[in-house]
Amino acid sequence: MIALMMLAAATPAVPVPPLPVIEMPRAAPTTPVNFEVEVRAGSELLWSGTMRVSGQSPASFTRNKTDAPEAVCAAPVYNSTNSRTSLSLTLTGRRFAQEKTGYNLRVTWERPGPAADACEAPLSTRTVALAQDFSIAPGQSVTVTGDAGLSVTLRRR
């Protein structure tokens, strides 16, 4: 064992070449980008406003609303039969390729089920969710559509 240690100490070290430097693209655009956003369900405007994305900082919007039930039932099945509506949007910057910047849109829209179901199924809801990657140049707009007439139009400033 001592002989092996002496042999190892006497053997010159083999130089290891330096590792190449690889520059990775940034994960997302770092300059703030503003979008005018319109969310619609068919012809009904659900929300419109401005969202700003920068680097790893996404923009998000959430709205929750609770109302008394639309239907009056003779004998409610549940104590809490409130009508709930929610809308949630998240816009995130990302890089698709080394020189191609893009964005990811995630939307969830929840609303009460049909009023005809309210007495038999008072907690009935309908939910639409969509997720979409897209690229967009300054001054352009893009529309992303989902089920139930849900559409989101984004105009990049």
Cβ atoms of residues 128 and 109 within 8 Å: yes
43 phi, psi to nearest 5 deg: -90, -5
Asked if residue 17 belongs to a domain, the reply is no
Q: How many CB atoms lie within 10 A of CB 118?
A: 20
**Which residue's entry shows tokens 């012809």?**
43
- The pTM is what? 0.73
Tokens matching residue 96: 């698709």
CA separation, residue 135 to residues 29, 54, 66, 130, 154 (Å): 12, 15, 36, 16, 11
pLDDT score of 77: 54
Average pLDDT per 10 consecutive residues for the chain, totaling 157 residues: 62 70 56 96 97 92 87 59 88 81 94 69 82 94 96 97
In a domain, 2, yes or no: no
Strand partners, 91: 59, 105
Question: Long-range pairs for 66-72 at CB < 8 Å and ≥24 separation?
Answer: 69/118, 69/122, 70/112, 70/115, 70/118, 71/115, 71/118, 71/119
131 falls within a domain: yes
Instruction: Tell me how far apart the alpha carbons of residues 61 and 39 are, in angstroms, rounded to a whole number.
Output: 11
Tell me, yes or no, whether 67 lies in a domain. Answer: yes
Residue 77 domain-assigned (yes or no): yes
**Range of the structural domain that residue 49 is part of:** 37-156
CB 61 within 8 A of CB 47: yes
In a domain, 63, yes or no: yes
Question: Is 127 among the domain residues?
Answer: yes
Give how many domains the chain has, as a whole number.
Answer: 1
Nearest residue to 58 (alpha-carbon basis) of 35, 24, 77? 35
The answer to the question of residue 118 being in a domain is: yes
Three-class DSSP category at 30:
coil
Q: What is the pLDDT of residue 112?
A: 83
